[in-house]
Chain A
Amino acid sequence: MFLRLLSDVRWQVTHPKWRRMTCSRRSTSSTAEPAPVPLPAEAQVVICGGGIMGTSVAYHLSKMGWKDVVLLEQGRLAAGTTRFSAGIVSTARHLSVELKMADYSNKLYQQLEQETGVSTGYVKTGSISLAQTQDRLISLKRIASSLSVMGIPCEIITPKQVAQLHPLINIHDLVGAMYVPEDALVSSANVSLALATAASRNGVQIHERTSVSHVSIQKGRVTGVETDRGQIKCQYFVNCAGQWAYELGHSGKEPVHIPLHACEHFYLLTHPLKEPLASNLPTIVDPDGRIYIRNWQGGILSGGFEKNPKPLFTEGRNQLEIQNLQEDWDHFEPLLSALLRRMPDLEALQIMQLVNCPESFTPDMRCIMGESPTVRGYFVLAGMNSAGISYGGGAGKYLAEWMVDGYPSENVWPLDLKRFGTLQSSRTFLRHRVMEVMPLMCDLKVPRWDFQTGRQLRTSPLYDRLDAQGARWMEKHGFERVKYFVPPGTDLLDLEQSKTFYKPDWFDIVGSEVKCCKEAVCVIDMSSFTKFEISSTGDQALENLQYLFSNDLDVPVGHVVHTGMLNEKGGYENDCSIARLSKRSFFMISPTDQQVHCWAWLKNRLPDDSNLTLEDVTWKYTALNLIGPRAVDVLSELSYAPMTPEHFPSLFCKEMSVGYANGIRVMSITHTGEPGFVLYIPIEYALHVYNEVMNMGQKYGIRNAGYYALRSLRIEKFFAFWGQDLDAFTTPMECGREFQVKLEKGMEFMGQEALLEQKQNGVYKRFTMFILEDHDTDTDLWPWWGEPIFRNGRYVGKTTSSAYSYTLERHVCLGFVHHFDEKTGEELVVTADFINNGDYAIDIAGQRFQAKAKLYPFSSLFAQRRRKDEEELSGYQRE
């Protein structure tokens, strides 16, 4: 979660040493202030930014054998946010990939001094996260479960134990805490220097006082870098410019959008206590008080994340230098109050300084890494949301792997730059959003939390109409989507009170929407889906798509195909439905947040052929999903066309008229396994068609529904969502979708080899559905995702999504089961027998619930199945 701080005195000592070393390597001059070494004319990689991120990327690249690397720093190494970092390495993270990065960083820093000879100030202190409320304790227990199964020691402790670990803490208002004994403190600037030293020994050239003015780009590729000291030709550029990354991204002719924004961040330094604090005293994190406290040179260092952050540099870089930022004691008062409440004995402690150091934050609280969707060879690693030191090592490693191997060794989609597009790049949006994000660092993270700022940017034409009918909204990729409809006269809790880990207040509302989907017909506005059209003059479209997609697309016109877009390892880059509109054109529906990623993936792989066009038509169509047994009746009455399965079979697509409107693309899929249709309506007809559907539907009991109902339906039917359940490391074989792959057809396609190998040798994880058995929906904690799965008492994997099934009247969790060798921990092949012969339990915040594992959905439970339903086992829309 944290922190920043200060480099302390060692910086002064280390730095000359550093210069001497670099000078002796590269400089012929022996004067005291040597003339700058000239820049090389060419390099394979240029990294901009000499903070923890830039040096970590350089370190890892050079370790992996890329040595023709130049690192440029506008000031001195580790002089920006890195210098001011609080130096806390904390592994207590919610997201598994973040947790892994922090764990790797911790291990890397621990041996770095030995490796490089540069003192890093590494001290293993441990950290204690305090809970003032039961909800906070639940949140900590969830993290503790994740840490434990990762093999990171950690325990939930009582307030009394807290007092034993730290002498100064007031424990009277605590309900518990989480202790992570291996967390550490470092001098962040020295870690950065150590990484730079090692990189330099490996051949990386480092130039300080060199600033990048812009990156040269030709034909969508990086070709070089312009600096104030001349030009360097390069193939790869890495933007590690921290809070300046946004601006640097916008400095060239072709902007690279890196949505981050700086906020001021304050922490306090004190003189030593009378009896100086031990340097191995655990770091305290008090999220309910919004503060962290670490020992620092016998005194303390304490900062926090206030409720009313002060964003800055919205207008871009200005005269204000970081060093000139003002201390603001009045602003710090709430945090100081929290500190003195937590450690009342500190009242007499002398203040040394209040440090103001800006930090960059991102729109979703997760860091930004990866390659630009528009410029090849342009990589980014920035936006650390105050956790730069914790992530530095791991993030640098993943990015280096990305550059060298084509993709990191972990699924980093949650951090991928391509989860954002130009639409998150508005300065106003960023300014408003980071003001919400920074306090969230300390706020309780509950399931189904929605951001409140930066909303109503992309909306369906029906937005007002739905809103007036009680719609409650969430946002995905800037698009407003309905969660559920609050019936008139129903009072829901207000926002703050509705935060819960237990049964939510909308339970019955969604239940009745689900019931209506099962028994009558519901309409859900699903306009946010990403929609592309691919067409060609000849067979180019089909030929290229056949290679890029795993399922056979050479189907009769009017058929819809569910297919993965796989990478070379057979993993899902995207999961979509493609309708063949004509011999030469295809209509492709993907998850909402695929808009940037899928576009870049296709653009980079389709030939540059003017006869082959790819168009993003997302904005052109409003999508209405008519779910339920009576959808057939509504639609046939509105179109005077027979819609029964004989005339309009499942997975079919036809342009037809609905009401007065013509040219509506009707597809017989609902992404839930229920019968029904999705209507893709040119936006100018949207209101008309919606009104017609609602009027006609009245006699069939039609009602509006939202995504929560949809989610419950798809999870009970065992449908996987891309981005939630499926990712670039999951293959169709691992989630029971072999039938969606054209392995038998003798056609070459991306990922084919990997899939053939899996077919031969078996899979190492298997997508499984779990029904919670002894779980009381009313009184027990609800599952969310990321809960550890235990088989016969041993950890086998984590859940990826969950929902309450109103049909089964049970909670359903989806997740992957691995088979780790009991002795070696080696991953073994997972067979159906292995899955079926086991007793399972799901761990929700430390409490285990019995679960029944299933590899196939309950077909018998669902009446009215249609023949081809099985084929539709592949919803792809995400949460």
Chain B
Amino acid sequence: MFGVFDGHAGSACAQAVSERLLHYIAVSLMSRQTLEEMELAAECLKPVPPILQWHKHLNETEYQEITSQYFENLRVYWQHLLDLDAEPAFSLEEAMICAFKRLDSDISLEVQAPQEKELMRNIALQVAFSGATACVAHIDGVHLHVANTGDCRAILGVHEEDGTWSTLPLTRDHNAFNEFEIRRLKREHPRSEEKTLFVNDRLLGILIPSRAFGDVQLKWSKELQHSVLENSCDVEALNIYQYVPPSYHTPPYLTAEPEVTYHKLRGKDKFLVIASDGLWEMLSNEKVVELVAGHLTELNVQKPQLAFEKPVNLGYMHSLLLQRKNRGIASLDQNVATHLIRHAIGSNEYGEVDQEKLTAMLTLPEDLARMYRDDITVTVIYFNSETIENYHRNNE
């Protein structure tokens, strides 16, 4: 599984979702037997076998206490699954949808539950009153599922037989530019609100994405919001943005339910790019695929130690080395994700990286930076075409 999580109104919600969502999906996909074994271990206070193998930076989680609370709620979730009489037997699509919704509901309930420790309570508040979009890809052999909530985007880079590259978007952005979303919201709310659903291309004039985790301001009733916030200490200190829009009549306006797409990988699908909206604002799908493909080719050139047929003379070697050196300046990134971000924020009007612009963009003071650029997260997943082709050969 691979995920990109883009927070807004603070990082708390994105942090929590990034730490928790994949566990929820995993639990949704587990067999009844596995869940029973885990429950047994938890009951006996034995260590529960790890649910996931993480590929992430160490020490990313913040507090031990929070982790254990998250774990408790995850346990409640699997207990719930166990309580269902039958084997859950979710399809992957159902499992992902269920996991997204369950996590969002847990986020919403945790802040309403009584909590003695102030630190824990504050964190729960921050998580619920900030928001996050999420895009998660699940890959099992050639089966690729992408679940998306909000305006992150996942696209495939496809290497056509004629050697050209094309793009295959796997998600639809959930925002005011998406007809389906507008229609969905209109369907869910009375006609009287039709005009106020999207103001200035924002949901209720507030939020750019039309689906998200957290953001209880757009999910709870006014009364609930008041009662929760009343009991809490210092709303301002926690940077909680509380503003009830004028036409707030029929909450919830916002959901965390994802749209899930399925794609069976083909030999010509070479890579998947998942990125937050910050990247897509600056670069088109086509440009992104072109950059990744270019980088891929470059890697192939650079990697094998300069292949030359001996004997070679000094002059030839010299010109070869100079060529490589000149090319080397164009792509100084080993990491393709860095490469994309460099282009996203450093490109000039000709689409070339301009060092000065790049430097300027990266050294903006923090308070100004948001006016010129969004934060950007990019994950690029390369597929092993050989394995995919083998699969197709064996299954035909």
Contact = CB atoms under 8 A, between A and B. Distances in A.
Interface stretch (B16-24, B139-147, B276-284, B321-329): B321-329
A347 B306 contact: no
Interface centre among A327, A333, A337 (most CB of B within 10 A): A333
B305 interface: yes
Interface string B291-318: 0000000000000011000111111011
Given A326-B305, A329-B306, A351 B312 contact: yes
Contacts of B324: 330, 333
Contact of B310 (A329, A337, A349, A351): A351
Interface string A332-347: 1100110110000011
A350 interface: yes
B315 A347 contact: yes
A468 interface: no
Interface string B132-152: 000000000000000000000
A350 B308 CA distance: 13
Nearest to A352: B311
A346 B312 CA distance: 12
Interface residues of B, number: 15
Nearest to A326: B305
B321 A340 contact: no
B317 A337 contact: no
A351 B314 CA distance: 6
A340 B306 contact: no
A320 interface: no
Nearest to A268: B314
A214 interface: no
A9 interface: no
A348 interface: yes
A271 B311 contact: yes
A743 to B, nearest CB: 68
A350 B306 contact: no
A425 to B, nearest CB: 31
B313 A351 contact: yes
A333 B318 CA distance: 7
A351 to B, nearest CB: 5
A270 interface: yes
Interface size on A, as a range, is 20 to 34
A336 B314 contact: yes
Contact of B318 (A270, A326, A347): A347
A336 B325 CA distance: 13
A268 B328 CA distance: 23
A664 B382 CA distance: 70
B315 A330 contact: no
Interface in A262-286: 268, 270-271
B325 to A, nearest CB: 6
B314 A346 contact: yes
Contacts of B314: 268, 270, 336, 339-340, 346-349, 351
A330 B326 CA distance: 11
A326 B305 CA distance: 9
A347 B322 contact: no
A268 B312 CA distance: 13
A209 to B, nearest CB: 32
Contacts of B310: 351
B315 A348 contact: yes
Contacts of A333: 318, 321-322, 324-325
Contacts of B321: 329-330, 332-333, 336
Contacts of A268: 314
A336 B319 CA distance: 10
Contacts of B318: 333, 336-337, 340, 347
Contacts of A349: 313-314
Contacts of A271: 311
A350 B315 contact: no
28 contacts: A268-B314, A270-B314, A271-B311, A329-B321, A330-B325, A332-B321, A333-B318, A333-B321, A333-B322, A333-B325, A336-B314, A336-B318, A336-B321, A337-B318, A337-B322, A340-B315, A340-B318, A346-B314, A346-B315, A347-B313, A347-B318, A348-B313, A348-B314, A348-B315, A349-B314, A351-B314, A351-B317, A352-B311
Interface of B: 305-306, 310-315, 317-318, 321-322, 324-325, 328
Given A332-B321, A350-B313, 11 more contacts: A329-B305, A330-B306, A330-B321, A336-B318, A340-B314, A340-B315, A346-B314, A348-B314, A348-B315, A350-B311, A351-B313
